[in-house]
Amino acid sequence: MAEWRYVESGHNPADHITRGLTLTELAGSHQWSLGPAFLIQPPDHWPSMPKTEESDCSEIKKSAFIGNDSVPSNPLPDPGQFHKWQELVQATVRFLYGAASTGTDLPKEASDYIKAEKLLLAQAQMDSFPTEVRALKTGHPIPHNSHLGSLATGLIRVGGRLRRASDLDLEAIHPIVLDPRHPTTKLLIKDTDQRLLHPGSERVLAELRRQYWVLRGREAVRKHQYTCRDCQLWRAKPQTPHLADLPPCRLNLYKPPFYSTGVGCFGPFTVKIGSRQEKRWGIIYKCLTTRCVHLDLLEHMDSDAFLLALRRFIARRGKPLELFCDTACRAKNLLSPQSPAGSSLRGNLGV
């Protein structure tokens, strides 16, 4: 049966494990190897347990503090939890008529949705302009450095010089002021951009200013369109491909024209000879350095017609050192080693 007793910190050998000892201290008679000194004395001289009872002081008066901290509750939903303006308005209507109501139980009147929009705008202004809202509610003048004025109950509208414009609505004459950093304003900008099918920033800003005056509105619209995937998709520019280096045959700068020549055929074309119609083809020779062009006519698409056209080209333009062509079978057969018709040309042309 084990019995635990109290040991003071100065006589406790276990404290030396954490504090550490030198070799000189361990070499002598130390309590780490011998134990506490009071163990060789009778138990009556051992340390006694400390008293933990506190004495009551008659001069100390006991007191208790009881407080009530009231936090104003906002029944409206949080705009930061929604991705669309319509969903936020529907959720606000649902809060007004009870959170337990389903989507089929929502009212169909437009006045309910207009009321929900005004409540959301009023809450956004309360979050963004608390000083102006308190001043207007209490009847005090707004700060001198503020350009805001209240023209409707619960909403702050911007002032202006269009009060005598009878053909304009109240929203156009005095638009509702909104902070661009508020989530409600961001949802309005996103909704307007989607309804207009992602136009330019000026078009979105003009549509917003028919009802709302967003502070630094142009910057807020551009910031939204910079992060909108659809806007980036419509405004994306095609990637310019990296072109390879030009081949040596196109860099003969100090050589005569048609020094390196490319040849190709095109057609056929229908021509009328007398009372009959025949097919004719065209052949084009192009200098690979100067881009000069020589055109000729082929009566037939065979090796003999190609050879005659090549001889006419050499007689007029000079003998090319290199001749490049596509995968035309007629030209390949003519210039092949087994072709006797082109044996006189292969020795002089580098083809």
pLDDT of residue 64: 72
Determine contact, residues 280/298, Cβ cutoff 8 Å: yes
Instruction: Give dist(CA 176, CA 117) in Å, integer.
Output: 12
Average pLDDT score over the chain: 79
Q: What does the pLDDT look like over 127-138, one tens digit per residue?
A: 888 777 777 777
Give residue limits of the domains in the chain.
Answer: 79-234, 255-343
Q: Which two tokens stand for residue 289?
A: 């350095």
Q: What does the pLDDT look like over 74-101, one tens digit per residue?
A: 668 888 888 888 888 888 888 877 655 5
Helices (H), the chain: 15-19, 23-27, 31-34, 85-97, 110-128, 130-138, 170-173, 183-195, 201-208, 217-227, 229-234, 303-317, 329-334, 343-346
pLDDT of residue 350: 46
Rounded (10°) CA dihedral 330, 335, 340, 343: 150
**Residues belonging to the chain:** 351
pLDDT of residue 7: 75
Determine contact, residues 154/115, Cβ cutoff 8 Å: no
DSSP 3-state of 1? coil
Q: What does the pLDDT look like over 261-276, one tens digit per residue?
A: 999 888 899 999 888 9
pLDDT of residue 206: 93
pLDDT of residue 104: 57
Say which residue, 233 or 22, is predicted with more confidence. Answer: 233
Amino acid at 342: G
pLDDT band at 106 (very low <50, low <70, confident <90, very high): low
Amino acid at 259: Y
Q: What is the CA radius of gyration of the chain?
A: 48
Say which residue, 326 or 286, is predicted with more confidence. Answer: 286
Determine what percent of the chain falls in helix, strand and coil, rounding each to the nearest 5: 40, 15, 45
Determine contact, residues 267/279, Cβ cutoff 8 Å: yes
pLDDT of residue 117: 84
DSSP 3-state of 220? helix
Contacts 24+ apart (CB under 8 A), 31-39: 36/7, 36/11, 36/12, 37/11, 38/11
CATH code that applies to domain 255-343: 3.30.420.10
Across the range 283-304, mean pLDDT stands at: 90
- The per-residue b/e assignment along 255-292, b for 16 or more CB within 10 angstroms, e otherwise, is eebbbbbbbebeeeeeeeeeeeeeeebebebbbbbbee
User: Per-residue pLDDT for 349 more than 60?
Assistant: no
Amino acid at 146: S
Cis peptide before 143 (omega within 30 of 0): no
pLDDT of residue 9: 73
Across the range 210-236, mean pLDDT stands at: 92
Q: What does the pLDDT look like over 145-189, one tens digit per residue?
A: 565 655 455 688 887 777 778 788 777 888 888 999 999 999 999
Say which residue, 27 or 298, is predicted with more confidence. Answer: 298
Instruction: Give dist(CA 266, CA 309) in Å, integer.
Output: 14
Give percent of the chain above pLDDT 70.
Answer: 76
Q: Can you spell out the DSSP letters for 292-349? A: -EEEEEESSSSHHHHHHHHHHHHHHH---SEEEE-S-HHHHHHTSTT-STTHHHHTTS
